[in-house]
Amino acid sequence: MGDQEPEIVIARDLDDLHRQAAEFVTRYIMNRARPGNRVAIALSGGTTPRGLYERLAGENLRHKIPWSRVHLFWGDERCVPPENPESNYRTADESLISRVPIPLENIHRMPGEKTDPQKAADAYERTLRDFFRTAPGEWPAFDLALLGVGSDGHTASLFPGSPVLEETRRWVAAPYVEKLKAHRLTLTLPVFNHADQVIFLAAGREKAPVMREWVSQENRTARFPFEMIRPLSGRLLFLLDREAAGSMNPSERKP
């Protein structure tokens, strides 16, 4: 894990968080998507990013983004078909993909519909290897990874106590999540930690306890999965709303 200091930005409320996130993501894509460059983004699941996706597809920003150079992937997915309301793909399709001129071949969906989760994870790893064309032993380098934080400190589908937190070889895993009584598909920690820019979006008072514990702990031992996301050479931004930040202030940097 890297030792880049995380940046913490506290937004007034969820709407302001979405506004700031959308402006940051748009600027980031415009800077990275130089002619000939592709921008690989791992989308977050959950409900928090919906407003961000809607803004990226909105009148003010849609035309600024060179969609033909943007490639969308998922950080994790539920083991359900894409039309299922639980599907992270469906959330992104409804709020973003169906509203912007992104080529179909730029959408790299996790195959949650596959009945065998491990086969689905292996298939997605092949998708990533086809795209990134890494040398043997090299990790894929996403440009941007968007992530959320659960009230138990999970991120993507990396849950506390899961053996997947020890994964050092696979790019994509299919952990069984006890508390959900279900399998999930998820990128693994080394993949996230090789991204150029990671953005955590967290909103709501139910996230305040883990955020408070995170910012107040003296040493650097990661207790929650989200804390294990420390890009080796990339940058880390936490975008919180006031409720999730609790009494934290931006000057409280992680040790």
Q: Name the residues that contact ligand 6PG, by CB under 6 A.
A: 44-48, 76, 88, 148-150, 154-156
Q: How far is the CB of 242 from ligand 6PG (least distance, A)?
A: 16
H-state helical runs in the chain: 14-32, 50-56, 59-62, 88-95, 117-132, 189-192, 208-216, 242-245
Q: Which is nearer to ligand 6PG, 61 or 201 (CB)?
A: 201
3-state helix vs strand vs coil in the chain, percent to 5: 35, 20, 45
Q: How far is the CB of 45 from ligand 6PG (least distance, A)?
A: 3
Q: Which is nearer to ligand 6PG, 24 or 134 (CB)?
A: 24
Q: Which is nearer to ligand 6PG, 140 or 150 (CB)?
A: 150
Structure tokens at 21: 């996130």
Closest CA to 161 of 148, 178, 180: 178
Q: How far is the CB of 43 from ligand 6PG (least distance, A)?
A: 9
d(CA 163, CA 183): 13
Q: How far is the CB of 20 from ligand 6PG (least distance, A)?
A: 16
Q: How far is the CB of 44 from ligand 6PG (least distance, A)?
A: 5
d(CA 110, CA 87): 10
Q: Which residue, judged by CB position, is nearest to ligand 6PG in the bound state? A: 148
Closest CA to 68 of 98, 24, 33, 26: 33
Query: H-helix or E-strand containing 146?
Result: strand 144-148
* CB within 8 Å of 193: residues ≥ 6 apart: 1, 2, 229, 230, 231, 232, 234
Q: Which is nearer to ligand 6PG, 33 or 147 (CB)?
A: 147
Q: Which is nearer to ligand 6PG, 66 or 212 (CB)?
A: 212
